[in-house]
Amino acid sequence: MSSFWDRLAVVIPSVVVSGVLLAWLGPVITLALLSGGLLLMVVHYRRNLVILDDWLAGQKSSLPDSSGKWGDVFARLMRLMREHKHSHQRISSALERLRRATSAMPEGVVIMDEVDRIEWCNPVAEKHLGINSTLDIGQHITHLVRQTQFAEYLSAHNYSEPLIIRQSRHKGVTLSLQLVPYGDKQKLLLSRDVTRLEEIQTMRRDFVANVSHELRTPLTVIGGFLETLTDEAGSDAETRKWALALMTDQTRRMQRLVEDLLTLSRLEDTENLPREEKVDVAEMLHKLYDEAQSLSTGRHQVTLSLDTDAKLLGSADELRSAFGNLMSNAIRYTPDGGAITLSWTIRDGQGVFSVQDSGIGIEPEYISRLTERFYRVDRGRSRETGGTGLGLAIVKHVLTCHQAKLEIQSKPGKGSCFTAWFPAERLIMRDTIGSAEDGNKTSRASLPDASIMR
């Protein structure tokens, strides 16, 4: 309706003006004037159309000011362009935020089209799959992830479960890959590094297998002797005594294993924080020295060296367990006539507890694995000496809870030195002393061939 009245508002004045000019100037002059006016109007419209066309072609950055309807048209176009620009900026900003968020994800993300060509990927996916986000866009995903398992997973169209593969580009890396269909036949490929999870699963399986193996032998011995004693009611007293002694020994072995497992479980509990109490290390080591003499039964020369009376802030029970394990290991793996030294001193502002022996020593390639649960360099010898295979794992966890480090130095045939380094903030200092048990005061020997700091 408004366009009709607009046209009518143009037609009526034109008719009136034409009538006046016709009556006043005559038909010839009136026609000439009207033709000239129409020509000027055509030129004006042509000029504005050229300006609009140049602007649409991008040759002009802004529309000029104009009057009349063309001015209204230009103003409306500028308003639409400003709204479009603001909308484009908002969308670009949202896309950039989404890109940054996706790039910051710990998982790899690859966007693929309906025929499995790469459209985009984040930096984690580049690292996991060896993709270059600049060069590989448009490449088929199987040209880059060249594993038969993945190709079969892609073609099966069953993406409910992830695919676990071992990365060929990076040895020792295990990836979890899962495809997620979305949109118009597009797919997301999500990758996750599950190497640590796989290692934990392997450790769990090994742990269960080792515990089962450790318990099987004593249970077999006990079960066998019980059957023997049951079947041979008339067996002599010496045989019964011998059988009961062996069963008692195997029962104690199982008891030690269970106690060590419970200790490890408690130490690995994240809610179990060590008690912050003052631990008199010197007094503790005097008691451990007495225990060492008892365990050795005179077979070794045991020495206690105390260079300081500094105390430690921590859990007395846990520290005693760690120190006791190191001491008993030294006695267990040192031949008769060997020397064992327990020492407590201050070095470089840190508290240092060490156990040095002149035992069989350890080959360098085995040292890094000594604190693993049930790891033994010589399984037969360890079982003969009564070890559970958990002692050094307990030591490691106790020291970790106390922000301490374990250093292992060893030379085959020469002996070993296990040293626990405690940070200065856990030391409670008093006066330095220079006493040593039985008048023996020793220093740590140099064992340069192998060492590890844990």
Domain-ending residue, one of 132, 163, 193: 193
Would you state the structure tokens that stand for residue 72, as one six-digit string? 């209204």
Quote the pLDDT of residue 353: 95
- Residues 309 and 447 occupy one common structural domain: yes
Concatenating the DSSP letter of every residue in 305-357 gives EE----EEEE-HHHHHHHHHHHHHHHHHTS-TT-EEEEEEEEETTEEEEEEEE
Amino acid identity of 341?
A: T
- Residues 309 and 442 occupy one common structural domain: yes
The CATH code of the domain that includes 245 is 1.10.287.130
Quote the pLDDT of residue 147: 84
- Residues 399 and 303 occupy one common structural domain: yes
- Residues 284 and 362 occupy one common structural domain: yes
Residue-number span of the structural domain to which 222 is assigned: 198-268
Calculate the alpha carbon distances from 420 to 117, 126, 266, 354, 417 in Å: 56, 42, 21, 6, 10
Quote the pLDDT of residue 71: 73
- Residues 282 and 225 occupy one common structural domain: no
- Residues 240 and 369 occupy one common structural domain: no
Domain-ending residue, one of 249, 268, 287: 268
Calculate the alpha carbon distances from 19 to 29, 122, 198, 202, 220 in Å: 12, 76, 98, 104, 129
- Residues 20 and 35 occupy one common structural domain: yes
- Residues 28 and 95 occupy one common structural domain: yes
- Residues 91 and 152 occupy one common structural domain: no
Dihedral over alpha carbons 215, 219, 221, 225 (to 10 degrees): 170
The CATH code of the domain that includes 179 is 3.30.450.20
- Residues 143 and 247 occupy one common structural domain: no
3-state secondary structure of 79: helix
The CATH code of the domain that includes 445 is 3.30.565.10
How many Å apart are CA 90 and CA 86, to the nearest integer?
A: 6
- Residues 182 and 209 occupy one common structural domain: no
Per DSSP bridges, beta strands 405-411 and 174-182 are unpaired
Query: Structure pTM?
Result: 0.49
- Residues 295 and 440 occupy one common structural domain: yes
Sign of CA dihedral 198, 365, 214, 227: positive
Quote the pLDDT of residue 449: 39
Question: Which residue ranges of the chain lie beneath pLDDT 50?
Answer: 1, 380-385, 431-454
Domain-ending residue, one of 268, 288, 316: 268
How many Å apart are CA 91 and CA 18, to the nearest integer?
A: 55
Q: How many domains does the chain have?
A: 4
